[in-house]
Structure 1
Amino acid sequence: MPPDFAAFDFIIQPGWNNSPPEHWQSHWQQLLGAQRVGNHEWFAPQLHDWLQALDEAVAAASKPVIVIAHSLGCATVAHYAARHGKRLAGALLVAPADVERASAPAQLQPFAPLPDAALPFPSLVVASDNDPFSLPLRSVRMATRWHSRLYWLPRAGHINVASGHQHWEQGLDYLRELIADIRAATPQAASA
């Protein structure tokens, strides 16, 4: 684990259908010694079950928690924050899926509508301008409603294996930026 990450516990929150071994979340899980949320049903997700699994992962942590979410996992974090407030130190939200879009698969409907409130912790959204699961204006809307800093990856698809994002080392720079934001916002994190 990079030494500047040692003050935090990391939780990997995959999206719909989980992240395969080649996915950057799987690589980061190994690199960071992160815990992956153990959802019971990846293919027919239910919001209550996903929130419970995330809460169990957070409860098992011994340090301040940063959630690294992808796709539907980002919606999960938004719902979790609305219910559990400041249990998280921060969140990296990558390629958030627009669960409110008219073409959203029926399996994602339990996650709509998204909470319309700022996240009560520092967060970064990393979005792609050609994500098939979220139009740019919808990604902007999610980042704005969550009060998250927004970064764009040009023509990066859904920032997953299909778009060529396996190890995704550039993403670790966004994680470092998030950690800097957490330390700036939280005096006790700054001294860790």
Structure 2
Amino acid sequence: MLLLPGWQNSGDGHWQTLWEAYFGDIRVQQHDWLAPKRGDWMVQLEEAVRAQPGPVLLAAHSLGCHLVAAWAAHSQQVGRVAGALLVAPPDVQQDDWPLVLPSWRQPLLQPLPFAAQVLSSTDDPFDRAGRAAHHAQAWGARHLSLGTRGHLNAESGLGLWPQGRAWLRSLLEPDV
């Protein structure tokens, strides 16, 4: 399991941090969490996937969701991905998008070559226009809105988030 945090990383109490500690999942480390460049992040993901001995699952949060889409459009390693859970993808075209994130401003919106599920919230401050459903459709992913849960991070009170883990594992099951 590779964990892909978003901008500024995932801190204490975030479900990704808890999964890393409890399940031993691997956080893909980035060189710059504060002013990330999309290409740099893609290289780190590429190296992390190559370093794994077998198929991987991706658990992405926020900007990490857009990392998965950008990486999948360019990598020759996509066949090693068994599935991706894409949690709270932000609207990178939102008017108040942070100026330190210019390389992320244009999302890659093409079908992912592996099973994916997008989880979103109706009151996510980083997706005020509710574009997560649009992203899911463009990526060929299932979409599920979790109601009013904020940015689906530590402040959302998800804790170890067993339901998120179950949604991720469900990507390994064939559709019925």
* Cα drift, residue 136 of structure 1: 5.5
Size of the aligned set, in residue pairs, is: 174
* Cα drift, residue 51 of structure 1: 0.6
Compared CA separation, residues 31 and 136, structure 1 to 2 (3 A): farther
Secondary structure of the residue aligned to 1:44 is coil
Q: Is the CA contact 1:129–1:136 (under 8 Å) kept in the aligned structure 2? A: no
Secondary structure of the residue aligned to 2:94 is coil
Counterpart mapping for 1:86-97 below 5 A? 86-87=78-79, 88-97=81-90
Matched, 1:11 2:2: yes
Q: Deviations over 1:90-137 (max 9, x none)?
A: 110000111122221112221121112100100000100111101353
Whole-Å separation in 2 of the counterparts to 1:57 and 1:169: 25
Match in the other structure for 1:70: 61
Q: 2:108 aligns with which of 115, 123, 126?
A: 115
Moved over 3 A (4+): none
Match in the other structure for 1:104: 97
Secondary structure of the residue aligned to 2:171 is helix
Q: Is the CA contact 1:17–1:43 (under 8 Å) kept in the aligned structure 2? A: yes
Match in the other structure for 2:48: 57
Whole-Å separation in 2 of the counterparts to 1:109 and 1:32: 34
Whole-Å separation in 1 of the counterparts to 2:147 and 2:11: 23
- Aligned letter for 2:30? N
Secondary structure of the residue aligned to 1:19 is coil
Unaligned runs of 5+ in 2: none
* Cα drift, residue 21 of structure 1: 2.5
Matched, 1:145 2:148: no
Q: 1:164 aligns with which of 134, 157, 162?
A: 157
Whole-Å separation in 1 of the counterparts to 2:154 and 2:83: 25
Compared CA separation, residues 94 and 38, structure 1 to 2 (3 A): same
**Which moves more between the two structures, 159-168 or 53-62?**
159-168
Whole-Å separation in 2 of the counterparts to 1:66 and 1:144: 20
- Aligned letter for 2:20? Q
- Aligned letter for 1:15? G
Whole-Å separation in 1 of the counterparts to 2:45 and 2:13: 22
Q: Is the CA contact 1:130–1:136 (under 8 Å) kept in the aligned structure 2? A: no
Match in the other structure for 1:3: none
Q: 2:167 aligns with which of 161, 167, 174?
A: 174
Secondary structure of the residue aligned to 1:114 is coil
- Aligned letter for 1:37? V
* Cα drift, residue 171 of structure 1: 0.9
Q: Deviations over 1:33-87 (max 9, x none)?
A: 2111110000111111111111111011011011100000000000001001524
